[in-house]
Amino acid sequence: MGKLAEEVRVIDADTHLTEVHDLWTKRAPKGYEDRVPRVEKVDGRDTWLLEGKPLGPARGGGTIDPQGNKFPFYESQLVWNIDQVHPAAWDPKARIALMDEEGVHAQVLFPSDVGIGGQRLANATADSRLRTLCVEIFNDAMAELQADSGNRLLPMAVMPAWSVEECVKEAQRAARLGFRGLNMMSDPQETGAPDLASRAWDPFFEVCADLGLPLHFHIGASATAMDFYGKYFWPSQHEYVKPAIGGAMLFIGNARFVINTVYAGIFDRHPKLKMVSVESGAGWIPFMLEAMDYEIWENAPIQAAELSKMPSEYFRDHWYATFWFERSRTGNLQVLVDSIGEDNILFETDFPHPTCLYPDPLGTVEEKMSTLRPETRRKIMGENAAKLYRL
């Protein structure tokens, strides 16, 4: 476990849980048993079906096998079924056992097969009631999981991004169910809803702010603009190299989202609203904050003057970043942290995805964390998350 677990209750702010095959079918109301997502063999492969039509592969959702061996993305996460991946990828009991081994107190969970931001459910059917039901059943299952874990497993409730009104209702319901945050796809305009710069979303943002539900925007949480690992690679690149290029570019892709939220004036209208940029790293943030200040005054001075602060100043009041594998090129990680804000960084492991810190997450980061001030280290490794998620 190392010394870090002795200093603070370690909270891992980004992990993934693969959806078990009966998640929807065992909770479906009468008349919907054959319409909700279920898994069947299609051309010899486990496949999610919705209303009997293929929704996508039912993958294992990880790169670590049941024996604890880690494999490249291309030969594991793309092709494994659920029985080929480490049980902690889908079994909450196995997950908690692994957390105990690693010295991690709590983990924030994001989906797998339904899309990291739940986006695969958004356009899966034209039946709006069925879409909403799929989201509600998923969130019911996640609320049960959180309660059964004693708040050690913290799923973020998926939002029905195709409707502002539905998002307001589901956010209110999520608060009643005990959720500590919401998981939102980054481009709801892909579903026919307004984009998030539209003031049509103000009722939703206000509910999130009032209920203390931080909004999470995970890399790859859109159907086109930030999909899976993107289209950043040149087509002739080796198949193993493509996810390495796409994965690296997806980190920076979340800068697009930070900029848009600030320039749209969302935080002036909703001063209590919190957002989390998930699995995007932190090293790009200082430069991007500088760029935000420079670009808007160069290109849109009238709109810049309408903001109550310089764009860069909104980050510390409203945004959190997640941090796991990075190291400072200058040898002084504290300088990077201070340029972002020690209260704005959360620790993550990304289990069980390709870049995860398995099998020894705390040992992996112990040396770099030892270069930080003790109070900074404690905040990043757990205290910031404990405050954000009310643990």
How far is residue 154 from each of residues 203, 213, 240, 391, measured CA to CA in Å?
25, 12, 32, 10
Q: Please give the Cα distance from 34 to 330 (Å, whole number).
A: 57
Residues 17/388, Cβ–Cβ less than 8 Å: no
Prediction pTM value: 0.95
Cα–Cα–Cα angle for 123, 20, 129, rounded to 5 degrees: 35
**Which stretch of DSSP H or E encloses residue 266?**
helix 266-269
How far is residue 223 from each of residues 72, 176, 247, 274, measured CA to CA in Å?
24, 29, 16, 24
| pLDDT recorded at residue 327 | 83
Encode the chain (391 residues) as per-residue pLDDT tens digits.
568 999 999 999 999 999 999 999 999 999 999 999 999 999 999 999 999 899 999 999 999 999 999 999 989 998 999 999 999 999 999 999 999 999 999 999 999 999 899 988 888 898 999 999 999 999 999 999 999 999 999 999 999 999 999 999 999 999 999 999 999 999 999 999 999 999 999 999 999 999 999 999 999 888 776 555 667 888 899 998 988 888 888 888 899 999 999 999 999 999 999 999 999 999 999 999 999 999 999 999 999 999 999 999 999 999 999 999 998 766 689 999 999 999 999 999 999 999 999 999 999 999 999 999 999 999 999 999 999 999 9
Residues 261/224, Cβ–Cβ less than 8 Å: no
Bridge partners, 347 (sequence order): 323
| pLDDT recorded at residue 318 | 98
**Closest to 64 measured CA to CA, from 4, 15, 29, 27:** 15
Q: Beta strands 157-158 and 45-50: pairing type?
A: unpaired
Q: Please give the Cα distance from 210 to 273 (Å, whole number).
A: 8
Q: Beta strands 153-155 and 45-50: pairing type?
A: unpaired
Q: Which domains does the chain have, with CATH numbers?
A: 4-33+87-388 (3.20.20.140)
